[in-house]
Amino acid sequence: MPLANSSNLNAFLGAAVLGVISAAGMYLVEHYRQEKTRHQMAKDLARLDQELGQVRRELDQLLTKKRTKPHKARGSKTVSKANSMISGSEDYMSASNLDSSDLEFYDLSDDEPTVTSSTDLEKALKLIDQKLNTGSLEQLEDALGNLRDLCMEYPEHTELLWRIGKAHHKIADCCDDQNFIREQISKGIDACELALKLKTDCPDIHKWYAILVGSRSEYVSLQDKISDGHLFKKHVDAALALNPSDPSLHHMLGRFDYEIAGLKWYERKVAAALFGEPPNATYTEALEHFMEAEELANFEWKENKMMIAKCKVAIGEYKEAVEWLERANGCKLGDNSDDKIDTEVNILLDKYKSYK
C-alpha cells in the first residue's frame, strides 16, 4: 500500500554508514523483563500439572487392575487422595492469578518458550493490521496498545516489534506537536532496531526502520541527516532485495534518488567533506524506480504519478509530464494526504499547461 505521508521521505542527503547502536531498543526489553518471572512461574506450574496428571493416570491404571482383585476400596482411597492433591494445585494456580492462557505458550523444556498457537497470533495481527491501515488516530492508538499486550505473551517477537515501529510512525503522522512527533519516531526506531537484532531477513523490519529514520531527518543536524540518508538507502535496498515486488519500496528509492539528484553543489561539497564521497543519483534513475512502482501497484497511486511527472519535468519531457499530472489529478483516493498532493499537482499543471 502507499505510504500514509510520503513527504516524510524527502530531504535525505545520504552517504555513509551509521552503525546500529548497541543499546537500541532496550526500553522494550526492560519493559517486559518483569514478565519473565510470571512466565517462569507459569512454566513451573505447567510442569507440576503434568506430573500430577501422570500420577492420576498411574493411579487410574492401578485402580483398573484392582477391580479384579480384593481390597478395591484401598485403591479408591489412593485415587481420592491423588484427586485431592490435584485439586490443591488448581487452588494454588487460582491464588496466583494465573489462568490457562498463561500456560498455553510454554513447553516443559529448559529452553525459551515457543509459540504453540500461531493461528491465534495471526488472527490478532490481521485485526491489528486493519487498524494500522485505517489512519484513524484512535484506531492507531488501539492497535499500539494491542501490540504491547501481545508482547507480554510473545516477548521479542519481530512481527510485533516492526508493527510497533509502524504504529509509532503513523501516530506521529497524525499529530502536529513537534516534541511528541520526535518522541514517537524515536520509540519506533528503537522497536525496529531491536527487531533487526533478532532477525535480519524480514523486509518489513528494514522497510519501517528506513521510513522512521527518514522521518527524523528534519529534526537532526546536517551531518546526521547525511548519515541517516545513507542508512535509509541501505535498509530500503535490503528490504527490496527480500521483497522486490513491493511497490512502496520502489517509490521510496525513487524519492531518495530524486532528492539526491536535486542536491545543490554546496550540499554535495558538504557531503564529500564529511564522508569522502558525495551522493550520486540522477533523475532518470529516480524515474525508473517510480515507473517500476507504478507497474507493480494494484491501485491508483496519485503521489507516484505526480513524482513521475516531476522527473519528466526535470529531464525536459514536459508534454509527457503534463500527461502524468492529468492522470494524477484524476485519482481521488480520499485520504489525508490528498489535499496537499492536489495543491502541488494543480500548481504544476498551471505552470506547464502550455505543453499540453
Residue-level pLDDT at 311: 98
Neighbours of 272 (CB within 10 A): 13
Residue-level pLDDT at 16: 27
CA gyration radius, the chain = 28
Q: Tens digits of per-residue pLDDT, 259-273?
A: 989 988 887 887 777
For 194-221, what is the mean pLDDT? 94
Q: Tens digits of per-residue pLDDT, 41-90?
A: 555 555 555 655 665 566 566 666 555 544 444 444 333 333 333 233 33
Report whether pLDDT(350) > 80.
yes
Name the percent of the chain lying above pLDDT 70. Answer: 63
Q: Which residues contact 255 (CB under 8 A, 6 or more apart)?
A: 6, 9, 10, 12, 286, 307
pTM: 0.66
More confident residue, 138 or 134: 138
- CB burial of 7-24 (b: ≥16 within 10 Å; e: otherwise) equals ebbeebbbbbeeeeeeeb
In this structure, are residues 242 and 203 in contact, taking their beta carbons and an 8 Å threshold? yes
Q: Tell me if the domain spanning 6-28+116-153+156-299 has CATH number 3.40.50.410.
A: no
User: Given pLDDT bands bounded at 50, 70 and 90, which one contains residue 162?
Assistant: very high
Residue 97: exposed, middle, or buried by beta-carbon count in 10 A (0-12, 13-18, 19+)?
A: exposed
User: Given pLDDT bands bounded at 50, 70 and 90, which one contains residue 277?
Assistant: low
The rounded mean pLDDT for the chain is 75
Among 320, 193, 309, 334, CA closest to 258: 309
